[in-house]
Amino acid sequence: ILNVEQSPQSLHVQEGDSTNFTCSFPSSNFYALHWYRWETAKSPEALFVMTLNGDEKKKGRISATLNTKEGYSYLYIKGSQPEDSATYLCAWGNTDKLIFGTGTRLQVFP
Amino acid sequence: DSGVTQTPKHLITATGQRVTLRCSPRSGDLSVYWYQQSLDQGLQFLIQYYNGEERAKGNILERFSAQQFPDLHSELNLSSLELGDSALYFCASSLPGQTSTDTQYFGPGTRLTVL
């Protein structure tokens, strides 16, 4: 069974806190790891695609790292803002499909 | 706005019925993907079409079928509907390339409720 797992399931932080979450995926047959941001009542929006072990990507206050040998990726948000409240999905790129995790739901309180 | 459109936004129907969901990809994208999001489950990949041809299949039930037309829009047909088919159905599109590494752009989804 090819499983992509995300933790924690949900997270509540105060505005200004930095936070991070984990995506675990099978380390064999790795092609790519995707991160998406999914706000309530909207559609998932792509953040990053990472393909190489050790890859680090950054977009504003959000960054991600990738370890393909051990099968995990971290997403970091520095100085969380209320507008960062969303579900963050990761997806493991297999040969012909993306397999999504169930997401980490982040709520940032002002 | 991703550029991917889906209609209808909401659909309420009864068990045993058949419905068709429609998706128009971003301009220039040749691949269309269909996903199902049920309560407490991740996005489940159903099927992918590339330039009119089926390219990959996921956990799609036999009661479900899809096609991609020459103008590249796609339709997902769901028949003999059951209560458990109630879900949010997303369509996504991407440029021609490699499925595993291409960014997929998601439409707004169709929420299907089966009563």
Kindly determine whether residue B48 and residue A97, on different chains, have CB atoms separated by under 8 Å: yes
Kindly determine whether residue A43 and residue B2, on different chains, have CB atoms separated by under 8 Å: yes
Nearest to B6 by CA among B19, B24, B20, B33: B24
Nearest to A34 by CA among B27, B59, B45, B38: B45
Q: Which has the minimum average pLDDT: B14-23, B56-65, B92-101?
A: B92-101
What pLDDT, on the 0 to 100 scale, is given for residue B42? 83
With CA atoms as reference, the chain A residue closest to B39 would be A102
Q: Which has the minimum average pLDDT: B12-16, B49-53, B68-72, B96-100?
A: B96-100
Q: If you compute the radius of gyration of chain A from its CA atoms, what whole number of angstroms results?
A: 13
What pLDDT, on the 0 to 100 scale, is given for residue B96? 77
Q: What is the mean pLDDT of residues A53-79?
A: 96
Is it the case that residue B40 has pLDDT exceeding 80? no
What pLDDT, on the 0 to 100 scale, is given for residue A94? 81
Q: Cα B105 to the chain's mean position, in Å?
A: 12
What pLDDT, on the 0 to 100 scale, is given for residue A1? 55
Work out the minimum CA distance from A87 to partner chain B, whole angstroms: 11
Which of A43, A93, A101 lies closest to B101 in CB terms? A93
What pLDDT, on the 0 to 100 scale, is given for residue B20? 98
Beta strands (DSSP E) in chain B are 5-7, 10-13, 19-24, 31-37, 44-50, 53-57, 64-68, 74-78, 87-94, 105-106, 110-114
